[in-house]
Structures are given as structure tokens and as C-alpha cells.
Amino acid sequence: MDPLSLPKLKQHNSLSNIIAIFLSTMAMLSKNLHSTSTPLQLLLVLLSLQRLFMFQQWNWNPIFHLLLLSCFFLVYMLRVGALAFKPPSVYLVDFSCFKPPSTCQLPLSRFIQHASSIISFDSQSVEFMAKIVASSGLSEQTYLPPALLSSPPKTHQREYIKEAEMILLPLMDDLLTKAKLSPRDIDILVVHCSAFCPSPSLSSIIVNKYSMRSDVKSFNLSGMGCSAGAIGIDLAQNLLKTNNNCYAIVISTEILSAGWYSGHERSKLLINCLFRMGSAALLLTNRKEASKTSKYRLIRTLRNQTAFDDKAYLMAIREEDDDGKLGVTINKGLLPAAGEILRSHMTILGLKILPLTEKLKHIVSVIRKKFKDKQGEIYMPGFKTAIQHFCLPTSGRALIGEIAKGLKLDGRDVEASLMTLHRFGNQSSSSMWYELAYMEAKERVKKGDKVLMLGMGTVPKCCSCVWECVRPIAGDSNKNNPWRDCIHLYPVEAVSSVSQT
């Protein structure tokens, strides 16, 4: 301890000396308030202060002893209080991704043949869909549910339930097996599906099938689009902050047969072309012992949306066409609107996670452009200074490319996103988990690395999650990873370049 850090006090017991000692002592002890210092370490700081006072040969009397003890007690109580009110950390124990059976694979040739056999599609509609699929970046190995592979497609409530059970039940089984838990160990259940909202709900179907506890907190989200995966995590996190020692399961799914469009409007046919079968389930907990066995710790979540704006509100809307056929209209202005909300979202997120140097560079460039160089460019912070891995929306190569440009990402940073789009298609809110599974299968995620998951949905809305890897992941690719049998084939060079988006 540096004696010069304390004020030079006169050798008499004036009130100013007492105040100075009190303030100096509090300043030194407060440095340890939010650190990992133990009470013993704080006490050693106190004793060193006491030795310093004796070394300075001040007129020592009981008031100084009382003063130092008061400082220690006050700081220690503040530290205990801060720890007591700090919400528990949320950990990702494990996750599972559903891999459909090979009978559900849909090569482009089969897609064209199948669409041509559907009476409700004319030749122009089939030609348009074939063109979109061919240029979308999807491979020949993406999947559609059995109901949509029938001719004509079966789009009835009974088929929707069959598809939901086909996906959700094996997914739950796999996750519970990985975590070695019983369904009755689960305290919170969050299920989200944008297009299909039955009664009883999807969450109720799972509670019933697995005979879960009567006090399980179950939630069912719908209509949230591709951002629902991150929104479900945000909801589960808030519940875990107020309920101790709990397990929460969050399921991201999309029942494609419920969103199929059988008309002629091109703005509605896009859904048939881009969305493919997939689902993911993750197990979260706030138990302290999970810090040693879990894969990731949730660092931060962030949400914002533009539903208040009428123009943005109508960018993607589920409605009937002139013939009364239901479908989702995708308007042309969706991509620019998504870019605007993304810039706003990443600005807020950057203020929270970026290092100070990046923030200062951005602020200086803004000031320079406003007051000095009107033609100058505003410095865009590099998110790679804080994040090592990125899971981006798989809505298309164009969107992935624009996000990569804004965040200063290179081909390797967006490889998982492009390969997920290529191998599995756009799986709505569950795509981000297939991206993380890709990184794990490649054994790229190391202990201490941070992962950004970015979800963007209709309206548009934006939601992100930042995770920190808390243990080595190497070897986990053997645990029913959806990429296990094909990871050696990736990346595919023909679609791996951001410049092609």
C-alpha cells in the first residue's frame, strides 16, 4: 500500500483529520466491494491501514480504532447486500436440434415436380417458386414435413398436430436424455411457434404427453416470427431471476404445414420457398452447481421493435388473398426496414458490450462529421473485439451479407450462418441453434469465447443474446449433433463467400 495515497495529516485530532481518514479508508475498501475479495482480504486491508497510521506516528486514540472498524463493517455489509440482491446467473446446460428423417428431404427437382402436381398452382407460380429456391442458397437436402409432401398438401388441424408431435416429442426426449433429467424436474416451459397456435396450446400438449408437474410454469408464444427464439430465452431468463434453483426448457419450432400458401400472389409464395423443417430445444438453469457442468452462461439479452410504426407493422402480415386463401405477405421494404432496426439494436448493444476504445472511436467520428468534416465517414465499431462467434438470421444470403458488412465480419464469421441456410434452409427461430451446433461440430468454440445470437422477426423486431462458453466443448459433437454425419463436407466453397450474397 502506497503511503502517499493517504493525505498528509497533522499530528492532532482535529475534525478534518477524522473526516480525511474516513474518506481515505472508504475509498480503499470500496475498491474491493464488487470484486471477488473475501472478508479476510478486506480485513487485511484494514489492518494495513492501521499499521500505516501507527507508522505516521499520529496521536493514536480509540476514536481511530472505532473509525476503522466502522469503515470495515459498513463496506462489508454493502458487499453482502450487493451479493444478496444480485440475480443468479443463467446457464445453458445443453441444447438439441431436430434432424428430420431422410424421407422428408426435398431436392429442387422434387420440389418442382411436386409443385407442378398441385392444382392450385399455375405454371407461372411454379416457375417463380423454382427460381426463388434455385437462387436462395438452399441445398438439395433441406426438409419439408410429410403433410406438405402429399399431393395435394394436407393442411388440416389434425396434420398440424401430427407434425408438432413428430418434431417436439423426439426433441424433448433427446434433451432430457442429454441432461439426465426427468420431465418432472422441469420448472418452466416456454414454447413458441409463429404460424400455429392451437387450443390446447403446444406447451399444454408437451405437459400432457410427459405428465409434467401441476405447478410447472408453461408459456406459449405465437406470431413472434424468426426472433421468437431469442425472445423465449429473454422470457425464461426473467423467470429464472425470480425463481431459485429451477430448470427451464425453451423450445423453438415452426409448423410449416400451418403456414403453407396455395394461391398465386408472389409476395405470399416466398414463404413456401424459403422456410424448411427444423426445431430446437434448450435447457436453462440458475442452479449454482450448474456453473461447472453447463456449456454456456447467459451474459446479456436485448430486445427492440418497430410495431409502433404503421409502415413497419405492415411489412410482413398474415392475411387472405382475393380468393380467400390465407398466407403471409412479404413486402419489398422489409429488408431496408430490417436494416434500420438492426442499426438501432446494435448501437444499443455495442454501448453495453464493446470495449471503451471502440466506443470512443465511434463518438469521435460522429463529432468530427458533425462539426468538422461533413463528408467524413462515421467509424463503425468492430464487434469482433468483444464477440468471437456469430449466429445470424438465416433469412437469405442477402441479409447475411448486409449484417456481415455492418458488423465488419469476414467469411469465417458468417460461415455457420451460410452453411445452415444451405444445409437446412431457413428454420425460423431455431436456425441460430443449428449455427451453434455447426461451430461445436467444427470444435471452434473455446472456453471463455463469447457467442452472439441475433434474431430478427416480422414487424420487424430484433432480439439478441450474448453467451459465454464456460467449459471446453470439444467432443460434444458426438452427442446427437445434427451435423454429425456431414460436417466433413462443410464449408461448401460455392456458398461460403460473403461477397456472393
* 126/165 same-domain check: yes
Residues 57 and 196 in one domain: no
End-to-end CA distance of the chain: 58
pTM, whole model, 2 decimals? 0.81
- d(C-alpha 159, C-alpha 147), whole Å: 6
- 51 and 126: one domain? no
C-alpha 190/C-alpha 230 separation (Å) is 11
What would the grid cell of residue 6 be? Answer: 493517504
Alpha helices in 180-250 (DSSP H): 202-209, 228-242
Do 33 and 103 lie in a common domain?
A: no
Q: Are residues 298 and 276 in the same domain?
A: yes
* Residue where a domain terminates, one of 30, 53, 85: 85
Distance CA 56, CA 389 (A): 54
Residue of 295, 407, 434 lying closest to 353 (CA atoms):
407
Number of domains in the chain: 2
φ, ψ for residue 68, nearest 5 deg? -65, -40
Fill in the DSSP letter of residue 57.
T
Task: Tell me the pLDDT of the chain (501 aa) as tens digits.
Answer: 444 444 444 444 444 554 555 445 555 545 444 444 455 455 555 555 554 455 444 445 566 556 656 666 666 666 555 555 577 899 999 999 999 999 999 888 888 998 999 988 999 999 999 999 888 888 999 999 999 999 889 989 999 999 999 999 999 999 999 999 999 999 999 999 988 999 999 999 999 999 999 999 999 999 888 888 889 999 999 999 999 999 999 999 999 999 999 999 999 999 999 899 999 999 999 999 999 999 999 999 999 888 888 888 888 889 999 999 999 998 887 878 888 888 889 888 988 999 988 888 888 888 888 777 777 777 878 899 999 999 999 988 888 998 898 888 999 999 999 999 999 999 999 999 999 999 999 999 999 999 999 998 877 889 999 999 999 987 665 668 999 999 999 999 766 665 443
Q: Which of 38, 187, 94 is nearest to 481 (CA)?
A: 94
> What is the predicted pLDDT for the residue at 204?
96
Backbone angles phi, psi at 317, to 5 degrees: -140, 140
Which residue, of 85, 116, 138, is where some domain finishes? 85
For residues 255 and 220, what is the distance between their CA atoms, to the nearest angstrom? 14
Q: Does residue 29 share a domain with residue 150?
A: no
Same domain? For 220 and 308 the reply is yes
Examine the domain organization and report whether 185 and 214 are in the same domain. yes
Domain finish residue from 85, 106, 129? 85
CATH number (domain holding residue 196)? 3.40.47.10
Q: Do 180 and 34 share a structural domain?
A: no
Would you state the cell numbers that stand for residue 220, as one nine-digit string?
Answer: 406459449
Please spell the DSSP secondary structure of 259-293, one letter per residue. Answer: T---SS-HHHHHHHHHB---EEEEEEE--GGGGGT
Domain span at 421: 91-500
Say yes or no: 51 and 101 in one domain.
Answer: no
* Beta strands at 279-285 and 247-253: parallel, antiparallel or unpaired: antiparallel
**Residue 140, SS3 per DSSP:** coil
Do 67 and 114 belong to one domain?
no
Looking at the structure, tell me whether residues 32 and 114 fall in a common domain: no
Cα-based distances in Å from 274 to 316, 391, 415, 457: 14, 18, 19, 14
